[in-house]
Structures are given as C-alpha cells and as structure tokens.
C-alpha cells in the first residue's frame, strides 16, 4: 500500500464508525397520547337518561332456544371501515356486537362512530385499551386495560359495557377474576373466519357461512376485505334461515361476569 493511502483509509473507517454510532444513538420518536374530544356534560346526561330508560344493552327478546340464531362480532375497531359496515348492517336491519379497543375509541373524533353504534342498536364490548395478551400483565395493568376503556366508552356514549373479549382469546384465572370484579363476561367464539390472515372477501364469507345455530362468529371491522365480505355472508346465512342477534340476545340476557362463553 502506498504511504499516502494509509491515512486516507483510516479516515474513511473513522467516519463510517462515527456515522453508525450516531444512527444507533438517535432517540426514538416520543409516544404522544391520543386524547378524545371534550364531551358536553349536559348532553351526555340527557343521553344517559334516555339510554337507561330504554334499557342497555337493548334486546329484541329473541328466543334463541327455538330460533336459528347467530351472533356476528367485530373486533379491534372502530376503524376506517366501521361506518361503511354500519351502513350495510342498517340496510339489512342486522344487529351485531363490537368489541372495541380503547386506543381506537380515543381516535374516534368526538365519539361519533361509538354513538352511532349505540344509537343503531348494536352491542358494545370491551377489547382492552391497547390489545395486549392479558394473561401476561400485572394485576394493576390488567385492571387499567379494562377500566380505562370502560370509562372512556361510558364518557362518550353513556353506556357501561357488560361483555368483553380478551385479545387473542388469551385468558386465565386472574383475567376471569378481574373481569368478574369489573362486571364483564368473557366472550370468545366458535367460528373464526381468520379474516386477519386471509384477506379475501369470498373466503371470509364462506367461513362465516359455516356457522351453526348458537355460533359466535369472530371478525374484524378494521379490515376492508372483511367489510366487503359482509353482504355475501349475510346472504348465505339468511338463506339458511338464521336470525342475527347480539351476544346478549343470543343468551336472552346479559352473560354472567367472569364466565367464559364460546357459543350458546
């Protein structure tokens, strides 16, 4: 190697190391908490009185011991496609249960979608604040995940949720005990459409169409392809003579706190 080349090579190496270290030391972007818009307390009080007078959750008193009932459920919202889904459900006079994530609720401007869900007769369920596996949390964090979501939904809509779905279906004795204290029944499912994995509307509709009387069907309204599957799956199930109900309607009453349900 020529004498003049050695210092140049050492300079290049030094610059590369300095750049690499600088990149590794760059701080992560701060997490900015999402804050829901303020709610008019007088309007909320009037709304709460109206909802309590009508009874919550609403029930159309179906006898699912005699009818072919199926409960469609949607997780992880509200999201970008929830409004479109609500349009479809309203057109078909179909009621479902939405298991909402607190962070997604907080991102819903003014709580408009949440109030629409309630106003149109659907049931709301707690799906935690940030969708962790509840079985791996400390008792304090487990309580916060549920309570924070409960409080926010009540603040925005005037209703207190009575059902929940543990993220990933992951539950244990501690989760059961905390949900019992919070007055929440654990709702799992008997039909998994795997709509998060196979985002093909026809496939989602086909899997939902395999429901049996008393089934609870798992879907996610955060996926466009799932919402696109709804007209077809409603048609499939209607042709089989099914009645669409909320989770509470499926059992004829609000399910028992702490207990786990997968189907009727």
Taking only the tens place, the pLDDT of each residue in 66-112 is 999 999 999 999 999 999 999 999 999 999 999 999 999 999 988 99
Selected catalytic residue, list 75, 76, 195, 221:
75
Selected catalytic residue, list 148, 220, 221, 223:
220
Could you confirm whether 220 is annotated as catalytic?
Answer: yes
What are the φ and ψ backbone dihedral angles of 31, each rounded to 5 degrees? -85, 120
Hunting for tokens 């190496």 — which residue is that?
Answer: 13
Q: What are the tokens at 181?
A: 């204290």
- CATH classification of 62-261, choosing from 3.20.20.370, 1.10.1760.20, 3.20.20.30, 3.40.50.2300? 3.20.20.370
Taking only the tens place, the pLDDT of each residue in 26-45 is 333 332 344 444 555 555 54
Helix %, strand %, coil % for the chain, to 5?
A: 50, 15, 40
Taking only the tens place, the pLDDT of each residue in 172-210 is 999 999 999 999 999 999 999 999 999 999 999 999 999
Q: Provide the whole-model pTM.
A: 0.81
Candidates 73, 33, 110, 62; CA nearest to 187 is 73
Could you confirm whether 75 is annotated as catalytic?
Answer: yes
Taking only the tens place, the pLDDT of each residue in 109-122 is 889 999 999 999 99
Which of the four pLDDT bands, split at 50, 70 and 90, describes residue 263? Answer: very high
Candidates 225, 168, 160, 159; CA nearest to 192 is 168
Torsional class of 93: left (φ above 0), alpha (ψ -120 to 50), beta (otherwise): left
Give the domain ranges of the chain. Answer: 62-261
Hunting for tokens 């089934």 — which residue is that?
Answer: 215
Hunting for tokens 């020529």 — which residue is that?
Answer: 2
Outline where DSSP puts E strands in 128-220: 163-164, 185-187, 191-192, 215-220
């Amino acid at each position: 190697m020529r004498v003049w080349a050695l210092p140049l090579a050492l300079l290049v190496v030094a610059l590369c190391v300095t750049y690499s270290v600088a990149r590794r030391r760059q701080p992560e972007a701060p997490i900015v908490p999402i804050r829901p818009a303020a709610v008019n307390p007088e309007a909320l009080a009037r709304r709460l009185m109206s909802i309590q007078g009508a009874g919550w959750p609403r029930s159309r008193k179906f006898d699912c011991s005699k009818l072919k009932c199926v409960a469609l459920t949607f997780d992880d919202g509200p999201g970008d496609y929830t409004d479109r889904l609500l349009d479809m459900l309203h057109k078909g006079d179909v009621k479902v249960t939405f298991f909402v994530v607190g962070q997604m609720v907080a991102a819903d401007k003014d709580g408009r979608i949440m109030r629409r869900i309630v106003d149109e007769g659907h049931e709301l369920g707690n799906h935690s604040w940030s969708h962790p596996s509840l079985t791996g949390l400390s008792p304090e964090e487990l309580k916060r995940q549920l309570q924070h979501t409960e409080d926010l939904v009540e603040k925005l809509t005037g209703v207190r949720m009575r059902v929940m779905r543990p993220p990933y279906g992951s539950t244990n004795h501690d989760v059961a005990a905390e949900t019992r204290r919070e007055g929440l029944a654990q709702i799992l499912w008997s039909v998994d459409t795997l709509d998060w994995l196979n985002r093909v509307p026809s496939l989602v509709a086909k899997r939902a169409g395999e429901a049996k009387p008393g089934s609870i069907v798992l879907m996610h309204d955060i996926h466009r392809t799932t919402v696109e599957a709804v007209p077809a799956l409603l048609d499939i199930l209607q042709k089989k003579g099914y009645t669409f109900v909320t989770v509470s309607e499926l059992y004829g009453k609000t399910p028992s706190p702490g207990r786990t349900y997968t189907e009727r």
